[in-house]
Amino acid sequence: MALNFKRESFNARILSVGAYRPPRVVHNNDIVEKIDSSDEWIQQRTGIITRHYADKNESLIDMAIKASEIAIKKAGMTKDDIDAVIFATISYPYQAPSAATELIARLDRPHAAAFDISAACAGFTYGVGLASDLVRGGTSKYVLVVGSEKFTDFLNLEDRATAFIFADGAGAVIIGPAPEPGIGPTIWGSDADSRDAIWMNPSWLEFKNNPNAPWPFIAQEGQKVFRWAVFSISKIGNSAIDAAGIRPEELKAFIPHQANLRIIETMAKDMKLPDSIVIADDIRETGNTSAASIPLAMDTLLNNHPELHGGLALIIGYGAGLVYAGQVVKLPPNPAATSK
């Protein structure tokens, strides 16, 4: 016997974006002494000039709440409108329960569906794809997608390969129904043969059982990650553009994961993106915030270029796993215009 129910289907789009950066700004010169480096070298290799660090007592949930509240307000909604939360992070310090359930409890929305994604720097674009499917399938109406990281809890400030790269911050978007498609098909996948390119070691069990085991700091093989991102992810971007049924010249912006400015510029060139496209470079002032980097970069881009509201953007996340996901999205409308 077949199931007997009807469910209306919808289109989906990003309705708003919110961002939070901790107030403490850390310049390259503040960290170079411990890693025998220089401001000039860091800028040449990564494009990073500054990054933001959270205070010791500021958690990634504290940051996520601030970003989420901004996104909810910009969408002209209240927290009661949110019926699902997808939380992308790899720096939440508890195995269970999830960061998403802590967030909804503190937002006083304790009965919303809530779960975490562990897809590192691709977590946000994984979340966007899942949220779009939830809305289009009628399972949820308004989904809050959050990326929040407090990497300073897992950052070895004496590691020359990572100390200057990673930072703290949070970004959030509201995804809901729309009269026409606003989120293209998600192109995603993995390259698990290179799983050891970015890692957090030792495991919790090793840390528990070995009194001499170090804290599980984040580490990476920078050149391996660079080559993979440059030569593989640009193809994913082109596939996402094709899947959305548009031409590259119809894009208004390119907002990739903010891992490294050289990677971003090389990807744009390799994809043959037109010069008219605005390319996000929030990495310069925010560093690499993993799952938070794309919504943070989106927020900066729209603040600096308000004319891009409502335009088409290519977003791509990629990171530890190695995993990736990308899609073409319609950027949220200008909240100043919609509130009039």
Catalytic residues: 121, 257, 288
Burial letters for 288-307: b for 16+ Cβ neighbours within 10 Å, e otherwise?
Answer: bbbbbbbbbbbbbbbeeeee
Task: Give the per-residue SS3 of 182-206.
Answer: CECCCEEEECHHHHHHEEEECCHHH
**Which of 51, 5, 60 lies closest to 30, judged by CA?**
51
The enclosing H or E element of 23 equals: none
Nearest by Cα to 289 from 19, 15, 13:
19
Measure the CA–CA gap between 247 and 257, rounded to whole angstroms. Answer: 21
Query: Rounded to the nearest 5°, which phi and psi values hold at 64?
Result: -65, -40
In terms of Cα–Cα distance, which of 124, 96, 137, 135 is closest to 259? 124
